[in-house]
Structure 1
């Protein structure tokens, strides 16, 4: 295949007319590298054309000031530096030197200027930071600390057997068999040693001494800290029914959990998924990709009705049924005996394995032991600091004052956890930056992505624009005339615009 065939748009080294920046955007290439030109006022930027997260096409994204937001998962990049300033992207984009000559734009070389990252004040920075938790929030915090040239000690304590992984993929492509295991780590093992991050796996923290400022591990080690981040995340709710503790029953949270389900899917062809949540249905879709026969049992009338409402929930049901999933809605599993799964309705179904996706609960034992303020999560202020100075919390466990709803909320979303970890890191360095991001998550069901911005626990009106069945829509969830959340299918730009409107409508 020739270079022209494998690359997008015009060859920018040969120049393009300034007038070719139709709508302020133009996709071209330099050699085999796709490059995106963006015009903001009188300035023209040239950056890598695809997001560094899952390679979303940035030409379809949203330019806000001197930043561009990815249409797929709402990462945000600084156009001048290429810096990934908002998760889920972590790695920066390359920036290219732009020249104007004779009414044309030429791009030939990457810029090699140092990135514009504010330095850490040595006098204000702590010497020792301890992070408890090896998930999204903990990793994002450690990465941000080193990105901002923090030179002190970082100790990251994780009870997991593997380093931080791309957890959303555990219920999506990795479980389906379309993503290799080498894609799963957020960073290689060498990254932690290179960045001098002391990542200790299989390490359970049993207590925190807030007076002596140290964490105590199950092995008796005392790890001192000047600043501490609690990022212990959530754990799956376990079945309490008879037979719910059998080896054929699985939950999904860790890489080990996912490997166990994959092994079960390779050995057996019949599965029962308990729960019609996002995780439960993503697992169902992934198992269908492995040609496993799947039954989903859930008490609600519609899948995911609590989050998406009946219209979207019914669409999701039909979508899964078209792919062979059998639903048993308004029903529950009351017992599991050997391979027999008994339902409240009286039906009994054979299963080689069962996956329970009935929710998660925040891991709060350490916070309770340390005497931190608790209210359905660890209570933090706008800077993600807990009731004990010097201790911060981020991710699934943190309950923060949301400026967009005017309420204290706790959200169990990957992107929120990463963004909170980043903000907590900056505040542990003395930045005093408020966490004000609008909650966002995405879910994948076969070839259908669902993006969701905001948070709507209750609503009195649902406004649908487009056609849900046609997989082309935005759905607004409103209360008292105010948009609380927006779900969308194949309307990436509208999802970004909805997020921006919510950001600007801070109460």
Structure 2
């Protein structure tokens, strides 16, 4: 959630600063009513906006790597020379100011014009079709236009709403702490202004790879030169009597979140089925609305499979401190109008039920088209599928991860956005490997949990700091190698872990 802007303080940068003023190579000051971050790299000094354009994270507390600065909150990355948002989740650039060196001082001068878009290479395709209106699809369309792609972009989405900031649907928006106008990734006019033909409520039923056309449910055939599949995932359905009752909800779309908010206006007791990230974020949001919440899940502790036992126990205690009651190692066998029945034999009162038992990739379209499937759509390092000219990104893509040395599929928002960006560049012929380190964050009340890397299995968890004190970093190792790092309020170390994994794709340093 973005922070409200306040009047900037710090020195007036137009009056000049010396290198001695730049503690740790950076300083936050002001130019007029603008807060500006000054960063020293060698003998060069850069001046850029001080707040991440994603959720307004303080870039002065982030990490400088080469000529980039990374946000401490959600790991967006910006070019210090141009301000360009190089990596999601930020998509908008930072403002940049000119810096003049004179008499041993550096003076921040006028705000610079945004650089012209980089030209798309010669030989770029004429027609790009994107199937999916989520993180990957939107990021790809935005990057194509950012690279001055002049051809047509058709984005086909079966959703009723333009692309939205999906993490907010279970966090601040659902909890009543963010207005709905924060939820769209871009205002409605963005698509027309950028010549993106966004077609909502459009179901794609087939891909004709021979004729290079996609077929919609209405029978329309849309030609493409390059195709991006970004169909995402869908919630796993609960198969028990009563699962289709009107007070039983799932959460994936803006309409889903609106429906839960509407139900929460009159609900008094909610049951969350599943102790997933989505399930527990929903639990926290409903507690913010003063609703009694119980969580039913088959595992012995929440999120142990991803976060380990120690962090799983902490997450459970955190929710219990906020009034959530857990029914673990149990499941729901039926639902009626006012309660759910447990396998253990008990009943829980519930006038609102939210099912969060996981998601599954939407692979039917790829399977129909004859693309190679391996628990996801198989792609090469450039995110191209087994059929030339067709790319896949986001929740459906299984790619060769240079950090773990394995083929992996990850259902995380930032990964989907970054893959969409890389796919767009490769659609334009860049031949850029997708080598970003997987990253996600989860928010539980006032506690953010960051996670970098990917560890499906590990044989050791190294804990630095104090989990209970909400000040910790956990390293998940297998055979001595660090595969992933989870952290609470260790933002710089989380960024450093990400950078180290990038620099050493083999993971051999273990740091």
Q: Does 1:457 align with 2:456?
A: yes
Residues in 2 aligned to 1:501 and 1:308: alpha-carbon distance in whole angstroms: 20
Establish whether residue 85 from structure 1 lines up as the match of residue 86 from structure 2: yes
Give the structure 2 partner of residue 500 of structure 1.
499
Distance 2:114 2:373 in 1: 46
Is residue 468 of structure 1 aligned with residue 464 of structure 2?
A: no
Q: Indicate the residue corresponding to 2:336 in structure 1.
A: 337
Which whole-Å CA distance do the structure 1 matches of 2:268 and 2:130 have between them?
41
* 1:424 CA drift (Å): 0.3
Instruction: Structure 2 unaligned segments of length 5 or more: list them.
Output: 1-5, 507-511
Q: Secondary structure at the match of 1:13?
A: helix
CA distance in 1, matches of 2:115, 2:143: 17
Q: Secondary structure at the match of 1:6?
A: coil
State the partner residue of 2:3.
none
In structure 2, distance between residues paired with 1:108 and 1:18: 17
Cα distance between partner residues in 2 of 1:319 and 1:405? 31
| Pairwise CA distance, 1:17 | 2.6
| Equivalent residue, structure 2, for 1:234 | 233
How far has the Cα of 1:292 moved from its partner? 0.8
SS of residue in 2 equivalent to 1:335: strand
Instruction: Tell me how many residue pairs correspond in the alignment.
Output: 501
Match of 2:101 in 1: 100
1:102 Cα deviation from its structure 2 partner: 2.3
Counterpart secondary structure, 1:27: strand
Q: How much has 1:6 moved relative to structure 2?
A: 2.3
- Separation (CA, whole Å) in 1 of partners of 2:191 and 2:452: 32
- The yes-or-no answer on 1:6 pairing with 2:7 is yes
Provide the C-alpha distance between the structure 1 equivalents of 2:430 and 2:65, rounded to a whole number of angstroms. 23
The residue that corresponds to 1:112 in the other structure is 113
Query: SS of the counterpart of 1:23?
Result: helix
SS, match of residue 16 in structure 1: coil
| Worse-superposed segment, 345-354 or 227-236 | 345-354
Residues 185-216 of structure 1 deviation map (CA, whole Å, 9 limit, x = unaligned): 10111110000000000000000100011000
Alignment of 1:172-251 (within 5 A): 172-251=171-250
Equivalence for 1:159: 158
SS at match of 1:484: strand
Alignment partners' CA distance in 1, 2:337 and 2:187: 40
Q: Which residue of 2 aligns with 1:33?
A: 34
- SS of equivalent to 1:208: strand
Deviations 1:148-194 (A, max 9, x none): 00000000000000000000000000000110000011011111000
Q: Indicate yes or no: 2:77 matched with 1:76.
A: yes
Mind listing any 5+ residue stretches in structure 1 that lack a counterpart? none
Corresponding residue SS for 2:265: helix
The answer on whether the counterparts of 2:249 and 2:260 sit within 8 Å (CA) in structure 1 is: yes
CA distance in 2, matches of 1:416, 1:29: 34
CA distance in 2, matches of 1:316, 1:8: 37
Which range is displaced more, 206-215 or 331-340?
331-340
User: Which residue is 2:52 aligned to?
Assistant: 51
Within 5 A, what are the aligned runs for 1:253-292?
Answer: 253-292=252-291
Shift of 1:113: 5.7
Deviations 1:201-235 (A, max 9, x none): 00000001000110000011100000000000000
**Distance in 2 between residues matched to 1:71 and 1:159, nearest whole Å:** 34
TM-score (norm 1): 0.98
Offset at residue 350 of structure 1 (A): 0.7
SS of equivalent residue, structure 1 residue 441? strand
Moved over 4 A (4+): none
